[in-house]
């Protein structure tokens, strides 16, 4: 959608927008573009793939030295894993302690250094420099300001639009 100059805001995404994206990608799919899930890491390792949409942590932890990440000029989508406490949880206080532990910059730096994903915790970069200075300069974990400025947060689509999206991409995946 960003490539086509369309908003990435799910609240305004229409079937017409999704169809336009499908129609833009379809000629590439017809020429061999594949949608394969997380199996791309094996294809990268065997040099069968020259371009892929990847999770930053996968490429940061599993990519070869000659694998290069390039941010699309249109921008990138961001995602988050979230810590939540269900309403009525029996161990709310213990869950809060665990959350506070994970959000301590020293602990968050250890987590980021292990999983190789961007951390939302302020101060992680300073702490990770103490653990492994080379990781602190990795743009997959610490995107530069020009990349951050073009990030878009993708939220949930309505059930109807989600189903239409799935149908369109099943066509692209050859299913």
The pLDDT tens digits of the residues spanning 109-152 come to 999 999 888 899 999 999 999 999 988 888 888 989 999 999 98
Q: Are residues 97 and 84 in the same domain?
A: yes
Q: What is the pLDDT of residue 43?
A: 78
Q: Using an 8 Å Cβ cutoff, are 6 and 23 in contact?
A: no
What is the pTM assigned to this prediction? Answer: 0.77
Phi, psi of 157 (to 5 degrees): -90, 160
- Number of independent structural domains in the chain: 2
Q: Mark whether 158 and 103 lie in a shared domain.
A: no
| β-bridge partners, 113 | none
**Are residues 84 and 36 located together in one domain of the fold?**
no
Domain that holds residue 93: 78-149
């Amino acid at each position: 959608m960003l490539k086509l100059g369309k908003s990435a805001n799910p609240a305004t995404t229409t079937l017409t927008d999704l169809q336009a994206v499908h129609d833009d990608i379809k000629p590439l799919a017809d020429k061999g573009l594949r949608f394969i899930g997380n199996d791309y890491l094996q294809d990268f390792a065997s040099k069968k793939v020259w371009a892929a949409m990847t999770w930053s942590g996968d490429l940061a932890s599993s990519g070869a030295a000659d694998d290069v990440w390039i941010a699309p000029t249109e921008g990138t989508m961001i995602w988050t894993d979230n810590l939540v406490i269900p309403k009525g949880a029996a161990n709310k206080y213990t869950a809060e302690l665990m959350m506070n532990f994970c959000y301590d910059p020293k602990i968050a730096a250890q987590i980021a250094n292990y999983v190789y994903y961007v951390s939302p915790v302020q101060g992680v970069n300073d702490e990770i420099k103490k653990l492994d200075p080379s990781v602190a300069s990795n743009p997959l974990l610490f995107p530069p300001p020009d990349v951050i400025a073009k990030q878009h947060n993708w939220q949930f689509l309505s059930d109807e639009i989600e189903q239409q999206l799935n149908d369109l991409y099943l066509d692209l995946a050859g299913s």
